[in-house]
Amino acid sequence: MARAAPASVRAVNIVSFLTAHPSRGFTISELAQHLGMNIASAHATLAVLCDSGFLIRDPVHRTYVLGPALAATGFAALEQHPAIEAAIEQAEVLSLELDVEVGLSGIAGTDVIFLARRGPEPLTSSIAYVGDRSPLLAPIGAVFVAWDDDVSAWLERGDVPADRSERYRSFLLEVRTRGFSVMPAIPSPDVTGAFQRLRSEPTDNDAEQNLAEMLQKVDEVLISFDELSDSDEIAFKALAAPIFDPIGRVLLSLSITGSEQPVRVDRIRHLGRRLAKSASIATRRTRGRVPGRQGS
């Protein structure tokens, strides 16, 4: 793999950070602090991005926000990826039918990025906001790797101990069998704090490592439905179902946000099957292919 040019990395990090924090602008000092840059390098990169229209600088507050040129980039990307529009249509149908928040996520390099949401605001915190990124490490993003032949990189990045790797593989097998994944509600301040730190300092490798370590300390991250009866109750953060591309890879994921209150397992199964049906419709409408099935 070619080594990334530092200037390119800085530009990508700045645009990604501002995309994930669209509600406010950031000064050059704040960006340098959050992204681990020196002021001189940040200044040069910001100047190029502003000249191209990808960013705009507020001359009064001296803050930077995304520029209109990126809107054109977004519209062009939607034309090149019709599955996104098909998935958003299904999210709208599902949110109206079930009166729940439905989200759409995709893979962005080595991260999972939240692309869109439809439906009512959940009573608890939303699973994510548009532009939000999470590292693709175990157990995060299970729906994106459950159909892969090799998940070793996902396990290694998540710092999964060797004695737990088989449990994770069994968990992924259940996801494939059910057709959707279940992200449990994790009542851990340490995990919440680790996520917040990583979002604030996305280029800090220690922040990602800290998140991986906190997740491995929580037993509730893996739920085996084989061990539960329909009358059992569990709290979930989100259900997620895959949308496949024409060669059978998981391209996108539709998700239903949970209330984080205990829900009967049979209700979760019902919601998951309905979610998987919507994801399957989006797959078919964009000529995607479910692995193991012939044709489109």
SS3 16: helix
d(C-alpha 93, C-alpha 89), whole Å: 6
For 208-227, letters b (16+ CB in 10 Å) and e give bebbbebbbeeeebbbebee
Percent of the chain with pLDDT over 90: 74
- Residue 222: pLDDT band with limits 50, 70, 90: confident
Domains located in the chain, CATH noted: 6-71 (1.10.10.10), 81-285 (3.30.450.40)
Read off the pLDDT of each residue in 46-75 and give the average, rounded to a whole number: 96
Read off the pLDDT of each residue in 155-182 and give the average, rounded to a whole number: 93
C-alpha dihedral, 20 to 185 to 108 to 142, nearest 10°: 180
d(C-alpha 122, C-alpha 238), whole Å: 11
Q: How many CB atoms lie within 10 A of CB 44?
A: 12
Q: Is the pLDDT of residue 283 over 80?
A: yes
Read off the pLDDT of each residue in 217-227 and give the average, rounded to a whole number: 78
Closest to 106 measured CA to CA, from 83, 90, 125? 83
C-alpha dihedral, 79 to 84 to 88 to 91, nearest 10°: 170
What's the whole-model pTM score?
0.87
Q: Is the pLDDT of residue 27 over 50?
A: yes
d(C-alpha 244, C-alpha 285), whole Å: 11
Q: Match 């494939």 to its residue by tokens.
A: 176
Q: Which two tokens stand for residue 9?
A: 């990395």
pLDDT digits (tens, 9 = 90+) for 73-119: 999 999 999 999 999 999 999 999 999 999 999 999 999 999 999 99
d(C-alpha 256, C-alpha 240), whole Å: 7
